[in-house]
Amino acid sequence: MKIGIIGLGLIGGSLGLALKNIKFISSTCGFDHNLSHCEEALRLGLVDEIVSFDEIKKCDMIFLAIPVEAIINVLQNLTNIPKDTTIVDLGSTKEKIINSVPKEIRANFIAAHPMAGTEKFGPSAAIENLYHDNIVVLCNMDESGDKHKNRAIQIFSHIGMKIVFMNAVEHDKHASFISHLPHALSYALANSVMGEEEPKSILLLAGGGFKDMSRIAKSSPLMWTDIFKQNRKNLLNSIELFQKELNKCKTIVKEEKWEELEKWMGNATTLHKIL
């Protein structure tokens, strides 16, 4: 089976590395609008070859590892693929992407969200074991053809992922809290500190807590702007709920209700019993 990967950054490049040890995959090819990404991907051995967009359409499976808005645009140009070709999108939002799939290729399409990544991006960020032991959410699989469902499950299983099935609407709601809100908070924290502190003070005093919370603010602004745009309604809801909790903390501290503060913090620590 020949695999095509559109987008050769962290997600696509890591997939290319993970697929190299699967016996039933004959070869991998890549396509990226960024020519330097193509050159780097070849040098790093992320894919076997770089091909044109028309050539990648001939693959048995095509993975879309590009920003979520770009996924929607690319799908409109894949309507003439063979019936046996499987298309898998790896975007962080699902409902808007699924709704945009042309009816001609809906049976070919698999909506997947691998819950894996780092704050780094580009081909050099690719990690061979990025997906291993992590969750992949497959959405609205009842709308996909059996052959394509089986292929996707087979691939994700072989690269060591744990598969969860979910409705796209529910996925986007949950992702807004678990993934998208933390990114919004990290960007906000970084901007608030940069607006008030000198770089020298940040360098001297920033401890583990600040580094942990601000780490994901290094993530690609282009990619995350698209994600926020597609999941706008759910993200706004999660931000509003977070603001209520932050305001609660502010009020408790302002009114010096220290026992209540300890109780409020204690309630939050129960999250670690789940994690």
Query: Which of 55-79 are b and which e, b meaning 16 or more Cβ less than 10 Å from the residue's Cβ?
Result: ebbebebbbbbbbbbbbbebbeebe
- For 236-258, the pLDDT digits (tens) are 999 999 999 999 999 999 999 99
Residue that the structure tokens 């894949």 belong to: 78
CATH number listed for the domain at residues 2-166: 3.40.50.720
Q: What is the pLDDT of residue 275?
A: 63
CA distance 59 to 51: 11
**How high is the pLDDT of residue 117?**
79
Looking at CATH, the fold of the domain delimited by 171-274 is given as 6-phosphogluconate dehydrogenase C-terminal fold (1.10.3660)
Per-residue model confidence as pLDDT tens digits over 162-221? 999 999 999 999 999 999 999 999 999 888 887 776 777 776 777 777 788 888 888 889
Torsion 99-103-106-107 (CA) sign: positive
Distance (Å, whole) CA 22 – CA 60:
15
Tens digit of each residue's pLDDT (9 = 90 or more) over 66-94: 999 999 999 999 999 999 999 999 999 99
Asked if residues 65 and 73 have their Cβ atoms less than 8 Å apart, the reply is no
pLDDT at 211: 80
Question: In this predicted structure, what is the pLDDT of residue 194?
Answer: 79
Q: What is the pLDDT of residues 115-171, one digit of tens each?
A: 987 878 899 999 999 999 999 999 999 999 999 999 999 999 999 999 999 999 999
Q: Which ranges in the chain are annotated with CATH 3.40.50.720? A: 2-166
- Lookup: tokens for 265: 């913090």
- The overall average pLDDT reported for the chain is 93
pLDDT for 28 beyond 80? yes
Q: Crossing angle for the helix pair 232-254 and 221-230, nearest 10 degrees?
A: 100
Confidence of residue 113 (pLDDT cuts 50, 70, 90): very high
**In this structure, is the dihedral angle defined by the CA atoms of residues 17, 160, 163 and 28, taken in order, positive or negative?**
positive
Only one residue has tokens 């759910």, namely 234
- Of 209 and 52, the one with more pLDDT: 52
Q: Which amino acid is at 39?
A: E
pLDDT of residue 22: 92
215-213-263 Cα angle (round to 5): 170
> Which string of DSSP letters, residue by residue, matches 97-151?
HHHHS-GGGTTTEEEEEE----S--SGGG--TTSSTT-EEEEE-GGGS-HHHHHH
